Amino acid sequence: MAKKHLMATQNIAKKSVKRAVNKAKQSIDEQEHVTTLSFGLGLVFFVAVLVSLISISWWLTQHFIGQESAPVTSIIVAGEMPYSQRSDIINAIDQIDMGNFFQVNVNEVQNRVMTLPWVYSVAVRKQWPNELKIYVVDQTPVAVWNGDFLINQQGHVFQADIERIKHYLPSFFGPEGSELLALDNYRNLNELLEYKALAIDELVLSERFSWLLTLNDGVTLNLGREERVERIQRFMDVYPIIKEQLKVKINTEKQQNQAVDYIDLRYDTGLAVGWKTIDNISRLKSGDQASKQGRNTEKNELLKSNQNTDNNLSNYLKLAQSVKSLS
């Protein structure tokens, strides 16, 4: 009996072990199946990502290759340009190849625009995908120099089409290299004259640096080479007296056609006055070429007189006596 019971127990144990082994094998098979499935899914995902990256890279490459060969189709010109015109800018860069946006050289564009006579400064930049922006600042002329040139605010001389200037500019005449000196003196002396509601229309500087000014009322001042500020101040003190006495002379002597032509201030303690007729004034205002030449001749004679003061001093003293006669 005991032997049978032992055998039955052993059989049960063997069956339990066999079931456990079968369950373990089944679990291992299931894990292997899950692992194989996960690996397959991961491989498919990796391949999909790789294909997507390759496709995107190819598309971007084709896109940028197409953009790289795209031309500049828009040119925007802006800035402070009272004298330059857009057509001037476009014509200046006409020979530059705009067929490839990335190959357009902004420095070359800038250099071409800077060659234009009215241009003072230029800024150029590209804006993707097809735009070129040009910002231009024109010269600011403050005076005409020697009839054919212009002076800017910095005292630099440049040559441009004067016909484009629609406002009044004073005229400077002087030797080469004296532009900044002329401009500085113009500003300083003009500032003094403003106190008497006067302004400089024309400034002449001789080879010996003698100064001759023509005011906006037509009077020419001969300042000589020294003490320009002091002589302007003396003129401002005396000029109202001269005008009042001239009025008295016109009223008493009926000389309606007289006016002050020039005042020579080169003397230490006095001055000399030259006269002109109203007919001469009218011709000058009308712009008659012959009268302008006559006016320039008079100025040249005054400038030459600075070099020959001793020879001409008696003539100026006679003029000085005419001032005294007004009193």
Structure tokens at 169: 């500019």
Question: For position 107, what pLDDT does the model report?
Answer: 96
Q: Which of 316, 219, 229 is nearest to 270 (CA)?
A: 316
Q: What residue ranges do the domains of the chain occupy?
A: 1-68, 74-138, 143-326
Average the pLDDT over each of 129-138, 207-216, 246-255, 309-318 and give the range with the smallest value.
Answer: 309-318
CATH class of the structural domain 74-138: alpha beta
* Cβ proximity of 172 and 151 under 8 Å: yes
Question: For position 20, what pLDDT does the model report?
Answer: 62
Question: For position 275, what pLDDT does the model report?
Answer: 84
How many angstroms separate the Cα of 67 from the Cα of each of 72, 283, 293, 295?
A: 11, 67, 64, 66
Question: For position 257, what pLDDT does the model report?
Answer: 74
Please state, in angstroms and rounded to a whole number, the distance separating the CA atoms of residues 2 and 48.
69
Express each pLDDT in 173-204 by its tens digit.
Answer: 999 999 999 999 999 999 999 999 999 999 99
Mean pLDDT of the region 306-326: 41
* Cβ proximity of 79 and 124 under 8 Å: no
Per the prediction, the chain carries an average pLDDT of 80
Burial 280-303 (b: 16+ CB within 10 A, else e): bbebeeeeeeebeeebeebbeebb
Between residues 122 and 277, the one the model is more confident about:
122
Instruction: Please check whether the two domains, 74-138 and 143-326, share a CATH topology.
Output: no
DSSP 76-91: EEEEE-SS--HHHHHH
Is the CATH code 3.40.720.10 the one for domain 143-326? no
Vertex 234, ends 233 and 240: CA angle to 5°? 100
Q: What is the pTM of this model?
A: 0.68
Mean pLDDT of the region 55-59: 76
Helix axes 289-307, 278-286, angle to 10 degrees: 110
pLDDT at residue 156 greater than cutoff 80 = yes
Question: For position 262, what pLDDT does the model report?
Answer: 93
Q: Which of 192, 184, 191, 233 is nearest to 209 (CA)?
A: 184
Question: For position 1, what pLDDT does the model report?
Answer: 61
User: Is residue 313 very low, low, confident or very high in pLDDT (cuts 50, 70, 90)?
Assistant: very low
Express each pLDDT in 214-255 by its tens digit.
Answer: 999 999 999 999 999 999 999 999 999 998 888 877 777 666
Question: For position 167, what pLDDT does the model report?
Answer: 93
pLDDT at residue 89 greater than cutoff 70 = yes
Enumerate residues 6+ apart whose C-beta is below 8 A from 302.
212, 220, 222, 262, 264
Question: For position 47, what pLDDT does the model report?
Answer: 80
Strand order in the sheet with 74-80: 74-80, 131-138, 119-127
Express each pLDDT in 72-85 by its tens digit.
Answer: 999 999 999 999 99
